[in-house]
Chains A and B, each alone.
Chain A
Amino acid sequence: MEQSSTSALLQGTVLDLASDVVSALRSGDHVRAGSTLTGGGAGEGVARAAVRVLGADTLLPSVLLGVPPGPGQLAVFKDAVAAHPPRDDAAPAVVWSHWAMTRALRRTGPSPDGPPSDGTGAEPDARWLDGAGWQFLTHQLAVLAPLALPGEECAVTRVARGRPVDVARGFVRAVRRRDWQQAAGAGRWLTLLDGVPDTLGLEAGLDFVRLMGGSDPRVALQLEAARLMPAAVLL
């Protein structure tokens, strides 16, 4: 009972946080991006966990639009990175999502007169994607959609670059399965990849995902990222 109520609270906070990010991406207002974190609606532990779940995308407005994160938002983000490191036996997606957060911190939150806020930065390996079927590949890429950023390199990005047709197939499969979150995440990756078949009709496909699943803020977040990324230049 406790577990389910906590999960529901966490899910609700993740959705609120994603809504904030979507608003910020649409308006360019970083204050909105952190309003759930600084508004006191969720307890600190739940807010930290929600930031860990939403991952590096919590700072996406700062990364894509160049607006600095609010101090309170940045503090919670740092706390989330520190409080929820991956366990030794964590799944690769968990390890990579944490790495993505540390990368986002390095990009947006270096101390003004010191080294980057995180001294590590060693990249995990992407061997678990070697020879992965296109369905599994697309699922994992969608889970790791925060890694899909223009001008950013990592092992997962290199795997995705090598398999644009497989990601396109995965996108179509996700749409046909009504898995809007996976479709939106895969679509975000596809906006970054060369060699995506024109016959996919990515733009119309993303419009369709928005029409069908855009009421979920996590889906809307990926769609906003996909919309902004082609024009975005990272700082």
Chain B
Amino acid sequence: MPSKDKVLEEVTRTENIDIDAALDPAEPDGVFRDSRECAALALQSGGTNLLLSPPTPRPKKG
């Protein structure tokens, strides 16, 4: 039989859970792969052209 405190703690926890944020998460910021990983993928893919193009050029600052 859970104690009253335990039950209260559980209810408080449950009410504080933001389910919607977990169910519809925003897309995280991208981190592009570096060339070593591209090379690893080239070896693994056995000569196909998968994902081997360089990262999209990005505008320079300033």
Q: How far is the CA of A87 from the CA of B28 in the complex (A)?
A: 24
Contact indicator A6/B17 (Cβ below 8 Å): yes
Q: Are B19 and A52 closer than 8 Å at their CB atoms?
A: yes
Question: Which residues of chain B come closer than 8 Å to A200, judged between CB atoms?
Answer: 50
Chain B residue nearest to A177 in the complex (CB): B30
The reply to whether B31 and A204 form a contact with Cβ atoms under 8 Å apart is no
Q: A62–B10 Cα gap in the complex (Å)?
A: 29
Instruction: Please give the number of chain A residues whose Cβ is less than 8 angstroms from any Cβ of chain B in the complex.
Output: 43
Whether, in the assembled complex, A76 has its beta carbon less than 8 Å from a beta carbon of chain B, the answer is no
Q: Which residue of B lies closest to A80 (CB)?
A: B19
Contacts of B31 in A (CB 8 A): 177-178
CA distance in complex: A54, B25 (Å): 13
Q: How far is the CB of B46 from chain A (nearest CB, A)?
A: 7
Q: Complex Cα distance A210/B12, Å?
A: 37
Q: Could you tell me the dominant secondary structure of chain A's interface residues? A: helix
Minimal beta-carbon separation of B39 from chain A (angstroms): 12
- Contacting A at CB under 8 A, from B5-62, are 9-14, 16-20, 22-25, 27-28, 30-33, 37, 40-41, 44-46, 48-51, 55
| A74-103 interface bits toward B, Cβ cutoff 8 Å, 1 = contact, 0 = none | 000000000010010011011001000000
Nearest-CB distance from A81 to chain B (Å)? 12
With both beta carbons as reference points, the residue of chain B lying nearest to A3 in the complex is identified as: B16
Q: Please give, as numbers and ranges, the residues of chain B lying within 8 Å of A91 by CB-CB distance.
A: 20, 23-24
* Complex interface: chain B residues within 8 A of A9 (CB): 13
**Residue A172 interfacial (CB < 8 Å):** yes
Tell me whether A179 and B13 are in contact in the complex, defined as CB-CB below 8 angstroms, given that A52-B23, A84-B19, A90-B20 are known contacts.
no
A225 near B: Cβ within 8 Å?
A: no
In the assembled complex, which residues on chain A have CB atoms less than 8 Å from the CB atom of B33? 175-176, 178
- Interface-lining segment among A26-34, A42-50, A148-156, A226-234: A42-50
Question: Which one, A179, A208, A212, contacts B27 given CB within 8 A?
Answer: A179
Whether A45 lies near B10 (C-beta < 8 A) is: yes
Point out the residues of chain A lying under 8 angstroms from B18, CB to CB. 3, 7
Q: Name the CB-closest residue of A to B56.
A: A176
Complex contacts, A176 vs chain B, CB 8 Å: 30, 32-33, 51, 55
Task: Tell which of B9, B19, B32 touches A49, judged by Cβ atoms closer than 8 Å.
Answer: B19
Residues of B within 8 A of A (CB): 9-14, 16-20, 22-25, 27-28, 30-33, 37, 40-41, 44-46, 48-51, 55
| Contacts beyond the supplied A45-B11, A143-B24, A201-B49: 4 A-B pairs with Cβ under 8 Å | A7-B17, A178-B32, A179-B28, A204-B48
Can you report 14 residue pairs joining A to B where beta carbons are below 8 Å apart? A43-B10, A46-B10, A49-B14, A49-B19, A93-B23, A94-B23, A176-B32, A177-B30, A178-B30, A178-B32, A204-B46, A204-B48, A208-B51, A211-B40
